[in-house]
A and B are shown apart, each in its own frame.
Chain A
């Protein structure tokens, strides 16, 4: 086996290493204007190799081990000549054991795409666009201390439905324990329901509003902001959560954790990139910041334990879960005198990452709520606020949680509806 020879010889040129291998198949069907655009299939392996000699480190991405001798020589040369990274404190030497190879799942994603289109049309939409992904991947993590392997199957459904200039969107992910429950027709219907909620147009002044964040909107906001909880960001000095561990950073309604072992989601990750077994990591509990995301190295550097979130140099979240509450979106709307319901948002950009100040552009269902009812749809507005202000003003959360994942905007996560008070809304002139 090439991989065995590669591992054996890699061990000779460095002190520590971590090899992440992914192989298998990803299939995708894309559609727009109610018709299939493209049917794609990827079937290539990938190898990510992290190697360290003392505090000298190098990482390489390969898609083949063919001619591996030359690749190792190049790696060795880079290690030889590299300056040290003083923040590198090693790869986790603790022995873990994980071996879970399951059968791949098949699905007729071409037919499912058709079902989503039909759902959207039956729901009253003029047209629908979207995609389906089916991933059947086998992962292996090899370090001097661990050799772990697991397979994962996951499914992603994305559908955007249009009625005139209005749109609605659903973007859901499923893991091994939930793939059978996927309902593409229902997703299409649901997107169309948002797109057809009202044909009235409304407008608002800039200012502070109570806003119902859908799971997608909260998913966007947290996807852009949870990386600030990586110890890499904290150590760099660039995070609104810097020096706030143990402090109140959100309303008491807010509990957020990283949940990599939830097999109902596509973010399922039983071992991290250095072979550490993952687990649920509490990040914010009833509004209190509990800690940061760590690899073994950042844990040692800061006097903490690994949380199983390597990225060896840059720890990262796997599957963020914002715990739901006891409310529901219908009651949130019914109880709202004047406010907004925002179904999706994109393009978050920061003007101040230190304070978490950013704006993001709502889309796919932006509604004005007056006296408990949807009174019209809006366009051209922004959420222009900070992550701390948003988290501090979460008043109510829904019992319903959605497994949301969309493009590069929303990482695989689990989100409820959230009623947030005093959100700053801006608009163009």
Chain B
């Protein structure tokens, strides 16, 4: 029994604005560890997130199956919304649409044994290449979601997501290196055939083993070429997060933090003309793909940084109303029992027009940092650190010896200002982005091309 209509009817005379989101999700996950099956989990979850706006904004989360108990919760919700607080919200509506992305090979059509076989194979590949510590996990979620509000919007969506993550560690002669990688897609199980996972995983571990015996680069100034996994994490951490408008207005200040971008800053110089950074939820197959966000707003491509300057913000209904701009499809919540926040989806640095090889050819004394292990960033998304996993010296335009764990510790403006070339390639990686309290992780892609940065201090 769906009570969305009853809930909206109850609230329509009692709220300035109200919306109801109902989600029904089913998930499975499978784990392997060090050559043996580690376990399997399932989840079945459904419920309502109801938001009521009067003098302030209040939300109630419940999964009751009869309207008499729901009515009691709605009474309490209305009462809470009468207290003083912020109450601006984008009340736009009138859209009736549905969308679906379940892929070609539906998750329910693939037997558990096949999924378990996949992670077993990945575990074996890691083991064959010398990893003594191995964790793999494959998970899937299928979600049916509806969103309706008192302004007449009704959106129905149905989608499935696949997520594969592994971690491997190699020891040799008292030395240790580790690697973690994540892959994901909003689609079906054809995703596992869309990439050459045996090669990707095996090659990663092979390179990890080589790095065990590599020497450290001398600290100093280098030209730096970074691979797509680094341009992706940089785009996400120091491009996407600071342009989430709820952070800019302090809404996340006590948790995920604020932003070095101020609400009244206007177009702010971030870096060189090569800096074009996009967030686009509408990329089919991407891990964070959606046609309509969790607040019933159409998704679309947004330039967060354009030609080296800040451009569009990521807005949910609440932050949009405070900014005076319309919501732009950035309202996401990880499940039915979470509030929608301004979130990224697929965030990437736009490719340029020269090849990665050409980027390297023009470096006399440099480091090529292909990917990373440790990373972090301060809460305003300004001071950041990336430690290389697979990395090499560049001498006179050629990649030479491998170097171990080079450290780039810098700041956002220095990173983007040092950028003097973007490759013509584009690769995405998956991740789970955390924000909000209770903390909610939403699936994202992060990507970009190879990038060249001049005169960076490397440790």
Contact = CB atoms under 8 A, between A and B. Distances in A.
22 contacts: A28-B437, A36-B86, A39-B58, A39-B85, A41-B76, A43-B73, A44-B63, A58-B41, A60-B42, A61-B44, A74-B42, A160-B254, A237-B34, A238-B133, A347-B378, A349-B374, A358-B374, A359-B374, A361-B379, A408-B439, A428-B384, A429-B456
Nearest to A130: B254
A246 interface: no
A63 B46 contact: yes
Interface of A: 28, 30-33, 35-44, 57-64, 66, 71, 74-75, 78, 81-87, 110, 127, 129-131, 158-160, 162, 169, 236-238, 313, 346-355, 358-361, 363, 379-380, 382, 407-408, 426-429
Interface string B249-292: 11111110100000000000000000000000000000000000
Contacts of B63: 44, 63-64
A75 B40 CA distance: 10
A64 B65 contact: yes
Interface string B201-235: 00000000000000000000000000000000000
A42 B250 contact: no
Contacts of B151: none
Given A44-B61, A236-B135, A350-B374, A57 B39 contact: yes
A362 to B, nearest CB: 8
B20 interface: no
Interface of B: 33-34, 36-47, 56-63, 65, 73, 76-77, 80-81, 83-86, 111-113, 116, 132-133, 135, 169, 171, 176-178, 249-255, 257, 337, 339, 373-379, 382-385, 387, 405, 407, 409-411, 414, 434, 437-439, 456-457, 459
Nearest to A88: B39
A83 B63 CA distance: 34
A238 to B, nearest CB: 5
A380 B383 contact: yes
A102 B434 CA distance: 34
Nearest to A40: B59
A399 to B, nearest CB: 28
Contacts of A85: 36-39
Nearest to A75: B42
Contacts of B456: 429
A347 B377 contact: yes
B44 A71 contact: yes
B374 A32 contact: no
A428 B36 contact: no
A58 B37 CA distance: 11
Contacts of A58: 39-42
Contacts of B111: 81
Contacts of B132: 237
Contacts of A347: 376-378
A301 to B, nearest CB: 12
A428 B86 contact: no
A14 B46 CA distance: 26
A413 to B, nearest CB: 17
B251 A37 contact: yes
Nearest to B47: A44
B80 to A, nearest CB: 4
B376 A348 contact: yes
A38 B411 CA distance: 33
A429 B384 CA distance: 10
A39 B80 contact: yes
A338 to B, nearest CB: 22
A43 to B, nearest CB: 5
A131 to B, nearest CB: 6
Which 7 pairs from chain A and chain B are nearest by CB? A36-B85, A129-B253, A429-B457, A351-B374, A83-B37, A347-B376, A61-B43
Given A361-B377, A407-B439, 16 more contacts: A32-B252, A35-B85, A36-B86, A37-B57, A39-B57, A41-B58, A41-B60, A61-B44, A64-B65, A81-B113, A236-B33, A347-B377, A380-B382, A408-B439, A427-B409, A429-B410
Contact of B36 (A33, A86, A360): A86
A411 to B, nearest CB: 12
B169 A237 contact: yes
A86 B38 CA distance: 8
